[in-house]
Amino acid sequence: MEDEIAGDLLRGVKRIAQFINEDERATYHKLATGRLPGGKEGAQWVASKRVLREHYEKITAGRAA
């Protein structure tokens, strides 16, 4: 289970931005305004690859939250 969680987590805006192929500044803004699913662990943004995929699947299917 720990390996599953570790493999799913992205730590830091840079890694999240790389995963979604987005500019770091835009990614930070989306995270900070709640337009992108993620959270803060201390001062660092963290996100789940699975949740990000689901988020973009909803958008591309026309069911954005």
Angle in degrees, 0-180, between the axes of helices 49-60 and 13-20, rounded to the nearest 10: 40
Give the residue from 9, 50, 14 showing the smallest Cα distance to 58. Answer: 50
pLDDT at 40: 97
Task: For residue range 33-53, list pLDDT tens digits in order.
Answer: 999 999 999 999 999 999 999
User: Which whole-number Å values give the CA distances from 52 to 3, 35, 63, in the listed order?
Assistant: 19, 11, 14
pTM reported for the whole predicted model? 0.85
Q: How far apart are CA 25 and CA 16, in angstroms?
A: 11
Task: For residue range 14-33, list pLDDT tens digits in order.
Answer: 999 999 999 999 999 999 99
